[in-house]
Amino acid sequence: MAEKNSGLIACSRYSYPPNSLSLCGPINQKTNLKFYTTEGLTDLGTKEILKQFSTLYPYLTLIASQNNLTDPFDSRVVEAYWLGNSLLNKIPKAKLYNHLTETMGLKKKLKRKELNNISDKLTVLSLPHHSFHVLNIYRRTGHQDSPQTIETMDACIINWGEVLEIDGGKIKIKTQRLTHSLGKLSFEKNIIRTVKTQGLEDQPLLRLKVGDFISYHWGYFCQKLNSPVLNNLKYYTALSINSANWKPAL
C-alpha cells in the first residue's frame, strides 16, 4: 500500500537523478524510483531500492546509529546526509574514518598517500555529508570506479539556486558553478542554468514559484528549500570545500 513518508520521498528525489544516469543504485529499478519521486508516495519497495545504493545507505546507517535513531530513512537523517543539519556533529572522527576505509572499501581503492590525506583532514573536520564525500574522496564510489573531475564534482554535489522561470519540464535558475583554479575549489557565482524536473507529473513542481530557492542534483530539481535548510546546505557545503582545499602545514 502506497503512503507518504517524508524521509523516503526526499531520499528518493536525491537518489533518482544519478540512478537515471546509471551512476548509482539498482539500474533495473529506474522506473519504480521515478514513480516514488514524482508522485510523492512510497511503499515497502522504496526502502528496498534505496538500500541498494552502495554509497548512500551506509552513510545513512552511520548517521542514524551515532544519533541513536533506529531508522536510517528518518527524515532528519536523510536531511543530514544530503543537505546538512546538527546530526552530523555527533559522528566521531574514528567512526567516519572506519566507515570510509572499511565499510566503503577505500582502503583497497586509494593509494596510501590518499588515505593518509583523508586521515589528516578528519583531524580538522569530520563530516559524513554528501558534499564532503564528493569533494574529498578522489574516486567515485557508485558504478563507475574512476577519478573525480571538476565536472563530475560540480554535477554530483547538491547545489542550490533561485528560480527565475518555470517552463513545463524545465526550471531556469540563478546558481553557482564549482571551479578549480590554482589548486583550490571555489564557486563561480551568478551562473544561469536550466535544470530538469523529475518528469511532467512532478508533484513538488506544482508548489514552486519564481523567487523560490531549490536544490538540484545531476541537473534535476530535487526540492524547494526554506531559509534554515538553505542556510544549512550553504554552510556544510562551504565546510566541505574548505576541507577539500586544506593542506597540512609544512
Task: Tell me the DSSP string of 227-238.
Answer: HHHHHHHHHHHH
Q: Which amino acid, one-letter code, is at 112?
A: R
Output the furthest CA–CA distance in the chain (Å, rounded).
59
Classify domain 150-245 by CATH architecture.
Answer: Roll (2.30)
109 touches 145 (CB < 8 A): yes
**Which residues does residue 186 pair with via DSSP β-bridges, in sequence order?**
179
| Residue environment code for 52-61, b if the CB has 16+ CB neighbours within 10 A, otherwise e | bbebbbbbbb
Please classify residue 5 by burial: count the beta carbons closer than 10 Å to its beta carbon, then call 0-12 exposed, 13-18 middle and 19+ buried.
buried
Task: Please report where in the chains the cell 530535487 appears, as a residue.
Answer: 222
| pLDDT reported for residue 41 | 79
Distance separating alpha carbons of residues 223 and 215, to the nearest angstrom: 6
Per DSSP, 42 falls in state B
Helix H or strand E segment including 220: strand 220-225
20 touches 221 (CB < 8 A): no
Please classify residue 166 by burial: count the beta carbons closer than 10 Å to its beta carbon, then call 0-12 exposed, 13-18 middle and 19+ buried.
middle
Hey, where are the domains in the chain? 6-136, 150-245
Distance separating alpha carbons of residues 188 and 159, to the nearest angstrom: 12
Tens-binned pLDDT, residue by residue, of the chain (250 aa)? 445 678 999 999 999 999 999 898 888 888 888 888 888 878 888 999 999 999 999 999 999 999 999 999 999 999 999 999 999 999 998 999 999 989 988 888 788 888 888 888 887 787 899 999 999 886 554 444 456 789 999 999 999 999 999 998 899 999 999 999 998 999 999 999 999 998 767 888 888 999 999 999 999 999 999 999 999 999 999 999 999 998 876 6
> Which pTM was predicted?
0.91
The C-alpha cell at 162 is 533561485
